Amino acid sequence: MADCFGRSVGLPTMSKSTSPEVLFHRLEPLLAQVSKPIQYVGGEQNSVVKRWEDVTVRWCLMYPDAYEVGQPNQGVAILYEILNERDWILAERTYAVWPDLQKLMRAEGIGQFTLDAHRPVKAFDLLGVSFSTELGYTNMLAALDLAGIAIHSAARTADDPVVVIGGHAAFNPEPVADFVDVVVLGDGEEATLLISDIVREWKDQEQPGGREGVLERLASTGAFYVPRFHDVSYHADGRIEAVTPNRPGVPARVRKHTLMNLDAWPYPQRPLVPMAETVHERYSVEIFRGCTRGCRFCQAGMITRPVRERSIETIGTMVAQGLASSGLEEVGLLSLSSADHSEIGPITKQLADRYEGSNVSLSLPSTRVDAFNIELANELSRNGRRSGLTFAPEGGSERMRKVINKMVSEDDLIQTVATAFGNGWRQVKLYFMCGLPTETDDDVLAIADMAKRVIDTGRKAAGTKDIRCTVSIGGFVPKPHTPFQWAGQASAEVIDARLAKLREAIRSDRRYARSIGMRYHDGEPGVIEGLLSRGDRRVGAVIEAVWRDGGGFDGWSEHFSFERWERCAEQALEGSGVDLDWYTTRERDRDEVLPWDHLDAGLDREWLWDDWQDALEGMEVDDCRWTPCYDCGVCPQMDTAIEIGPTGRQLLPLSVASSPLVADSRS
């Protein structure tokens, strides 16, 4: 049997150990009838197809959104390479299928397929789903069902893959507990290899205990969470009473995985290069992982501690290899706050030196106002592009920023903006949140004042009126494992009313109205994100009801339906004593058992609570990279430590060979 490009991929049979049917020839006639068919074709540069029979453990990795969003995901890219490097493992990828093709596939009896060899997802040993956001939950159900896999973990048989989830949203997997078999907390590099080892051993021993057997082996490590092995009991008022293991050998708490020494794990090295258009068309290098700035709203900063930097040399090697193997021209230096790398100056300058005269461009997607400096900005814009700068003060008033511990003063921001406008920039984008704990109308209206000051300062510094400030505002959603996990979420009505007042404040002042743009979303989607973020197992019924009602692609405003979620929540939660408001706008008290309390991100619960109390009083906390440890608990609990430079090392210039294609001038 050959795949769509004529590569041999083994013969079709029904059993799991021998090669499954290749679906492309059945899929192909359908592709000419759907929108953007290239997204289902695969065969991208650097993709890997292995013979089914040559390996013991087979992973299907899924990003539960459309290809154009999922393909650039770093997590999937890293795991795809690491798993495929082992000769006894194969890893292929699958993405959410749009309704037009889903419908044709169901009519033709074709199941969810992988892009790499167009194999049926059901044939794999493991289906790993990466959740950056909770809004992919309905897409996971759609994919499971389209694959012919039972959506409920309890109903699956030996013929079904083990469904593993990871990613930031998996730090509270309770809303999808009924649909998944295994949950991984934290970094996936070593975790997926450990799962692979355990599965291989279990298969080599003729699969003792069947499906339960392998799940028990995984759970017994304390490093993997099998929701089915834990029972949840509730108080009469709806709060959780306890979460307890329901069989021997299953630890009560499950710990997160932390990858140390990022230099030993320089992935992705050979990034997949899509033919289809995607949301990020660049080679991204994670320059460090983790963040200890301590912004209280930021789940990523809490659950990825401690900070672990990649060295300048590894970054340089990764960039050179990544560009050579992909042919991309844009490099993103990724992290949660890229300007905080201890050697960010040398890294950007030396990379800019290396690629001077080429069309390679560098970008720092996340930069803090206080870590930004104009030399850095100049290095990043050597090729002359000074289109826009983006900062995220997050809170409009000084008081608000103290509550959320985003320690950026307005004067710092104005100073930075003045320098930038004086150096040729003409546009600044500012990100804020609305609906933060203790927030009042005045805190949000302060955003307008700040934007006006930016314009005033910018006009003076630039000597022209032709400058712009765009204010972009998102509704705040409290997240698990953060100090705000106890907070009541602002209702959609409160958020919409505050944004309306802010819009009016900006519009009404004719001196600024045309220079300040405002971008925001309605408050309603945030309510559902809140339900899914801090929900418990009872929310699973809501997700299932929404999917059965036709819901999916919830991250897309044209597909998301608040009305459907609200209606399904009302129906699915009827008689449980809890409702949408109970999950979202209700403030939790100190002793309430939270759905994720048995999942250990390393953070000390007492410290989180104290930090929540400090927030309410507007007390700030410093970054432990530069001030003494404040006992958040992660390093001792996880036996980890901060890994930062500076190393003082340098990048060597790349030898630039002339093209081997150039004709010999002597001939």
User: How many beta carbons lie within 10 A of that of residue 345, not counting itself?
Assistant: 15
Q: Which is nearer to other proteins, 155 or 279 (CB)?
A: 279
Q: Which is nearer to other proteins, 423 or 585 (CB)?
A: 423
In 280-433, which residue ranges form alpha helices assigned H by DSSP?
A: 299-303, 312-326, 344-354, 374-380, 398-403, 410-422
Instruction: Tell me the C-alpha distance between 100 and 531, whole Å.
Output: 29
Q: Are strands 162-166 and 599-600 parallel, antiparallel or unpaired?
A: unpaired
| 206-229 as b/e: b if 16+ CB within 10 A | eeeeebeebbbbbbbeebbbbbbb
CB 386 to other proteins: min, Å? 10
Is 281 a residue that touches other proteins (CB under 8 A)? yes
Tokens for 308? 């672990």
User: Is the preceding peptide bond at 646 cis, omega within 30 degrees of 0?
Assistant: yes
Q: Which of 263, 313, 329, 522 binds other proteins (CB under 8 A)?
A: 329
Q: Which of 359, 626, 648, 655 binds other proteins (CB under 8 A)?
A: 359
Q: Considering only 1-9, 488-496, 562-570, 631-639, which stretch makes contact with other proteins by CB under 8 A?
A: 1-9
* Half-sphere CA count of 122, side-chain side, radius 13 A: 22
Q: Which is nearer to other proteins, 33 or 627 (CB)?
A: 33
Q: Which of 321, 326, 342, 423 binds other proteins (CB under 8 A)?
A: 326
Backbone angle region of 337, left / alpha / beta, with phi > 0 → left and psi within -120 to 50 → alpha: beta
Q: Which of 328, 461, 497, 642 binds other proteins (CB under 8 A)?
A: 328
Is 273 a residue that touches other proteins (CB under 8 A)? yes
Tokens for 395? 């809170």
CB 500 to other proteins: min, Å? 37
Q: Which of 14, 154, 158, 662 binds other proteins (CB under 8 A)?
A: 662
C-alpha dist (Å) from residue 39 to 24, 71, 239, 584: 13, 9, 44, 36
Provide the 3-class DSSP secondary structure of residue 50.
Answer: coil
The site string for other proteins over 12-51 (x = CB under 8 A, - otherwise) reads ------------x---xx-xxx--xxx-xxxxxx------
Q: Considering only 220-228, 347-355, 374-382, 655-663, which stretch makes contact with other proteins by CB under 8 A?
A: 655-663
Residue type, 494: V
Q: Which is nearer to other proteins, 16 or 280 (CB)?
A: 280
CA dihedral defined by 75, 81, 82, 84, rounded to 10 degrees? 130
CB 4 to other proteins: min, Å? 4
Q: Which is nearer to other proteins, 162 or 323 (CB)?
A: 323
For residues 126 and 164, the answer to whether their CB atoms sit within 8 Å is yes
Q: Which of 5, 17, 103, 353 binds other proteins (CB under 8 A)?
A: 5
Q: Which is nearer to other proteins, 628 or 660 (CB)?
A: 660
Q: Which is nearer to other proteins, 41 or 143 (CB)?
A: 41
Residue type, 533: S
Give every CB contact of residue 478 below 8 A, 6+ residues apart in sequence: 297, 437, 484, 485, 486, 487, 489, 530, 533, 534
Interface of this chain with other proteins, residues 376 to 405, rule: CB under 8 A: 384-385
For residues 288 and 8, the answer to whether their CB atoms sit within 8 Å is no
Q: Which of 248, 575, 628, 660 binds other proteins (CB under 8 A)?
A: 660
Is 277 a residue that touches other proteins (CB under 8 A)? yes
Is 4 a residue that touches other proteins (CB under 8 A)? yes
Is 279 a residue that touches other proteins (CB under 8 A)? no
CB 499 to other proteins: min, Å? 35
Among 240, 26, 191, 9, CA closest to 116: 9
Q: Which is nearer to other proteins, 107 or 236 (CB)?
A: 107
CB 265 to other proteins: min, Å? 25
- C-alpha dihedral sign at 286, 289, 293, 294: positive
- What single-letter DSSP state applies at residue 269? S
Q: Which is nearer to other proteins, 15 or 659 (CB)?
A: 659
Q: Which is nearer to other proteins, 30 or 541 (CB)?
A: 30
Q: Which is nearer to other proteins, 41 or 180 (CB)?
A: 41
Write out the residues near other proteins by the rule CB under 8 A: 4-6, 24, 28-29, 31-33, 36-38, 40-45, 273, 275-277, 281, 323-329, 359, 384-385, 658-665
